[in-house]
Amino acid sequence: MKKLTVRQITFSALVGALYVALCYFGNIFGLNFGIFQCRFAEALTVLPFLCPATAWGLFAGCVLSNLLSPYGLPDLIFGSLATLLAGLLTARCKNRWLAPLPPVICNGLIVGALLAWYEAGFSAAFPGMFAFNALSVGGAELLVCYVLGIPLLSLLERMKIFPEKTGKIAETA
């Protein structure tokens, strides 16, 4: 395992704190939970493309945000793990245009299944509910990650906070 620098750990913690703040703000408007969840904070899930350590900050931020979830412990566990998995997969992406896809796919499938289970259990209605929830959660995630996440990546690359395509925080800033 690679050793993380203090700068990487600090940046990861800042990303996690920003994730929580954005989620709590979005929760005021009822955007974070439910079938059509449009978390502004999910735009941050593209950051592991530039700095892989942020996947852990996103995970911690998601755990803290999911404490407000009406879906309880299953969402706290599986929703947060979906964000961690998405972050770890995003860190492996080679193309910035593909970086939003892991969060879209992971959240669509995992959170979609969680919502379907919550609504229908493992009854005959589960497959239909899963398809609907996976598409609605994945669609909202696609919107947030591409409309907000890609411009965020572009901005951070232009600011030279990260060296392009290395996935590491710049040592000199």
The SS3 of residue 38 is: coil
CA distance 137 to 153: 22
- Element at 154 (helix H, strand E): helix 150-158
Measured between alpha carbons, how far apart are the two ends of the chain, in Å? 25
Instruction: State the amino acid at position 86 in one-letter form.
Output: A
Instruction: State the amino acid at position 50 in one-letter form.
Output: L
What confidence tens digit (pLDDT) does each residue in 46-89 have? 999 998 999 999 999 999 998 988 888 998 999 999 999 999 99
CA distance 173 to 39: 30
Contact (Cβ atoms closer than 8 angstroms) between residue 42 and residue 146: no
**Number of Cβ atoms within 10 Å of the Cβ of 30:** 11
**Number of Cβ atoms within 10 Å of the Cβ of 52:** 21
The SS3 of residue 128 is: helix
Mean pLDDT on 26-47: 80
What confidence tens digit (pLDDT) does each residue in 83-142 have? 999 999 999 999 989 999 999 999 999 999 999 998 888 899 999 999 999 999 999 999
- pLDDT for 152 beyond 80: yes
CA distance 1 to 165: 20
